[in-house]
């Protein structure tokens, strides 16, 4: 029944059948995270980096209502150029499939489709989380509940720094989602390497992270794992400067009444404007770095027995 809705590129399907490393990539970062043509160029470069590091890339999106695991060059262009591309999270998948329209997948929906295909590692820029002011708005990303339920490891530069990072950590702890710092004991804050928030778990080696993830799933402790991978030092932005930029962007969003799923794309665009494009450069570099680490993690995980039915 699932084959009716799910289209896995032959190269990816064969790699999964042979237990070769495969890394999922989202499409919202293409459709809503960056302007054209940098978005498509970044997506293609991420795929190339994954290949260079010994894994197979699987960019995920929805084209004409079909859940696509692996997008063609033409489909990447569709994601990058379409002005009204729908942003698809868990709740939106049935609607987009039923209406046979295009949709760009968020962290949550990419995890779902990756899991359907049997892909265990997913690379993104930063996960969603608890928005500032959530005590009154209840604005909490579906990414967090997906991480609590779906067996996919997510390599990211922490949570987006426009969020309430402290509450995001608390929420993930409550949901039992491990956050493992890769060569850091502090939660990265997307554009910056530091947040002031210490992590309980961190590892120097990718192999150790893979071992933790493998044991978690074999113990039937369902849900994902966040692998927090800080932006490389040479591309990181100053913490105090970015805090000020984000505060200004948040004030503007509040003045304009921007809420819900429109908030993140607006804030990223506004921060890019305030920083005169420097934040976009950092965003691109951290995604490239995550692609490299994601490929390394997928290779390490492929060495374990991945048949969880045993």
Per-residue 3-state assignment (H helix, E strand, C coil) for 54-123: CCEEEEEEEECCEEEECCCHHHHHHHHHCCCCEEECHHHHHHHHHHCCCEEECHHHHHHHHHHHCCCEEE
- Taking the C-alpha atoms of residue 46 and residue 122, their distance in angstroms, rounded to an integer, is 12
Among the options 68, 87, 120, 160, which is catalytic?
A: 160
Strands 121-123 and 22-25: parallel
Among the options 26, 47, 146, 270, which is catalytic?
A: 26
146 is catalytic: no
Q: What is residue 203's DSSP assignment?
A: E
| Residue 262: other Cβ atoms inside 10 A | 14
Indicate the SS3 state at residue 154: strand
- Taking the C-alpha atoms of residue 286 and residue 164, their distance in angstroms, rounded to an integer, is 20
Q: Considering just the CA atoms, what is the radius of gyration of the chain in Å? A: 18
170 is catalytic: no
Active site residues: 26, 160
């Amino acid at each position: 029944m699932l084959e009716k809705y799910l289209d896995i590129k032959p190269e990816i399907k064969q790699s999964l059948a042979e237990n070769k490393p495969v890394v999922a990539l989202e499409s919202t970062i293409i459709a809503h995270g960056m302007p054209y043509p940098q978005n498509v160029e970044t997506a293609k470069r991420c795929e190339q980096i994954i290949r260079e590091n010994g894994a197979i890339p699987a960019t995920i999106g929805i084209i004409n209502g079909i859940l696509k695991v692996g997008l063609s060059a033409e489909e990447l262009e569709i994601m990058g150029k379409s002005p009204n591309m729908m942003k698809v999270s868990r709740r939106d998948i049935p609607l987009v499939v039923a209406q046979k329209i295009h949709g760009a997948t968020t962290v949550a929906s990419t995890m779902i489709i990756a899991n359907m295909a049997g892909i265990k590692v997913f690379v993104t820029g930063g996960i969603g989380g608890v928005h500032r002011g959530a005590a009154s708005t209840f604005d909490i990303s579906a990414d967090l509940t997906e991480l609590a339920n779906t067996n996919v490891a997510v390599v990211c530069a922490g949570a987006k720094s426009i969020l309430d990072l402290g509450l995001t950590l608390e929420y993930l702890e409550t949901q039992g989602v491990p956050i493992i710092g890769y060569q850091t004991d502090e939660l990265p804050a997307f554009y910056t390497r530091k947040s002031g928030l210490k992590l309980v778990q961190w590892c120097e080696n990718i192999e150790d992270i893979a071992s933790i993830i493998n044991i978690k799933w074999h113990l039937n402790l369902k849900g994902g794992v966040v692998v927090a991978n800080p932006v490389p030092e040479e591309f990181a932005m100053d913490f105090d400067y970015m805090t000020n930029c984000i505060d200004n962007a948040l004030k503007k969003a509040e003045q304009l009444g921007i809420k819900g799923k429109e908030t993140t794309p607006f804030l990223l665009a506004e921060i890019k404007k305030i920083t005169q494009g420097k934040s976009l450069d950092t965003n691109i570099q951290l995604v490239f770095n995550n692609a490299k680490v994601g490929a390394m993690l997928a290779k390490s995980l492929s060495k374990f027995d991945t048949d969880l039915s045993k």
